[in-house]
Structure 1
């Protein structure tokens, strides 16, 4: 069975590493955060994902999973590091480059390097170029390099790593075949071969498609507000058409994929990606529209208490990355719209960006329902769906998810 080195032990890397270890692979995990390394080596987890705690504990206890700050020799190297963007929405692939440099000295002929991080088109080819510069002693044809983008849904990661179809694109046919054979050892979904650049754009296109459709729903909600129409009723009626499926609007778009990946396409083809750019702008503007709604409601209340329900970027997870809810709370606090109470059942402390403001308080749901003048529903967590509607009486309710209709 192959030895695998997984670089980056976050929301994708750790589930991947622990799953491979459970399948009998010898897995060496790498992370730059010493606390993360220590936590995993104790058989514990630093992120929330159903059943991940049990899997990591089992993998560590079996001896098949270890974690370290440094890579180790392996047959397969998987890079699962962040790919954010900088100011101006320019892709930042410095983490990919750093991971490539970290593994370079450990590479041997016959090794397979897989980039799972969602990346701008051409990134996998850059890994090849970097490795040739770092290891001129190696025949470039002796190292196999491929891109296999992750396509998992938080909350179902452990299942979808196995069952989802996987797109595998190598820098050459031999790399594609090598990566295809690796994933066939543990993936039950179909392994679909292509070239690296197509694999990269495929993942970006998937998320851009969703972003564009969400933007339509969000723009429609703004139109409905302007025309004094219930967007939820309108959506139900329009979706009765057999070929119409309008998505649900919300307070914006968050997460590490949909809110980020379309900008990679815009950066690569700025003149052609007009619709994709506009969709991003629509979704990025939605939090400001929600803030305006709250300000209008608070103008009629003396020293308003505003309860913001939910900080995660989607329901029933603890992931706050690129969350529009966090942006909304931050803007409300900075503009001193009122006293801000936050309810997020999946975290135990406010993120630093909100805690540093001093005017935002994390409270239990029952406290927020009791004290708030304005209830701002931002995330459709299950706990919020179960709220007794009688407790909403006498309060101004702004429901951006349509769960309290």
Structure 2
């Protein structure tokens, strides 16, 4: 069980393939995106992650747009939402169809892609004799390599033998605890984790909106509430972004609409927060008759180069259609240097608190209209 084919070489698949190679597996990476394959072949890394670059440079991993025979097939493809907010399993289905001609008895197929509960069991039912398991990725952008190795894993096979085989596989490169369960439970755990985060962010965002409406500091409100030993409210922001939290709760909402009223409310709050922030900025523009606005931070969270589902980026895209908006973000290709942007702007708006903004000279903000939704300006 030493030959592994990793299907999907994006932000999860490629780092996982590199870790497997370093751990002694014979690895081939499979992807249908020719530009991505060419980038990997020419050592042009498409993922901005600490420690990944050195591992990538030292790697001799082979990549292809077609799979080959392997002992283990690890599927790391995206599962986005359709326009109707239903799980789009087309990438997963394509990955299964791609490896089908190469599957033989005793092969192990592990799905890491987030998917609705029951997906792994349903797929496995078409492949008697092949072992199927589900083990969701559990990593944070910016700490991806560290968490790939050190985080606990929840591993569920469609039967006990599949679970044992998957446990054996992950034990060769994971230092965290490996928790045995069944496939359905592992799928449900992944969705529960991100639903938990979505709900907690929604509370912070809702508190922020009502506090600001009555003239209170949302930062002070949450800081003082968190003085209680059993309260730990998160920091609010302009909404929720990324490839997981805005997506995964919808899988549960679609399958269990009557049992997920809290999750549905959280989704509404977090979507509404972006709209609310955008409206507040426009109110400020009209009130102060500002001609030029500088937005600080456009990624979906601080200190990473990921713009997927970013509420801050959506705010920028919408406002620039109506106003002269200066984007300031160290990860945005068209971003303007901090001091240049401040000099031009009459209003500065904090959306994402990158560490790069800590060097900001607060005196340069004198005379500016300041709106801060993420503690960018202190």
Residue from 119, 123, 142 that aligns with 1:155? 142
Aligned to 2:364: 391
Map 1:1-400 onto structure 2 (within 5 A). Answer: 2-60=2-60, 65-129=61-125, 131-132=126-127, 140=128, 142-302=129-289, 304-334=291-321, 336=322, 338-349=323-334, 362-400=335-373
Secondary structure in structure 2 of the residue aligned to 1:271:
helix
Secondary structure in structure 1 of the residue aligned to 2:122:
helix
Measure the CA separation in 2 of the matches of 1:153 and 1:9.
Answer: 17
Secondary structure in structure 1 of the residue aligned to 2:180:
strand
1:222-254 Cα shifts (integer Å, max 9, x gaps) = 100111101111111111111111110100000
CA-based RMSD: 1.3
Alpha carbons 1:43, 1:58 under 8 Å: kept: no
Secondary structure in structure 2 of the residue aligned to 1:28:
strand
Alpha carbons 1:147, 1:169 under 8 Å: kept: yes
The alpha carbon displacement at 1:302 in A equals: 4.3
Measure the CA separation in 2 of the matches of 1:243 and 1:300.
Answer: 40
Provide structure 1 residue ranges, at least 5 long, that are not aligned to the other structure: 133-139, 350-361
| Range with greater deviation from structure 2 (94-103 or 388-397) | 388-397
1:297-345 Cα shifts (integer Å, max 9, x gaps) = 11134461111111111111111111111111122123x1x20111221
Aligned residues: 378
Measure the CA separation in 2 of the matches of 1:158 and 1:296.
Answer: 43
Measure the CA separation in 2 of the matches of 1:43 and 1:25.
Answer: 20
1:154-196 Cα shifts (integer Å, max 9, x gaps) = 1111111111110001111111111011001111111101011
Provide structure 2 residue ranges, at least 5 long, that are not aligned to the other structure: none
Alpha carbons 2:29, 2:63 under 8 Å: kept: yes
Query: Structure 2-normalised TM-score?
Result: 0.97
Measure the CA separation in 1 of the matches of 2:376 and 2:292.
Answer: 21
Measure the CA separation in 2 of the matches of 1:364 and 1:259.
Answer: 30
The alpha carbon displacement at 1:261 in A equals: 0.8
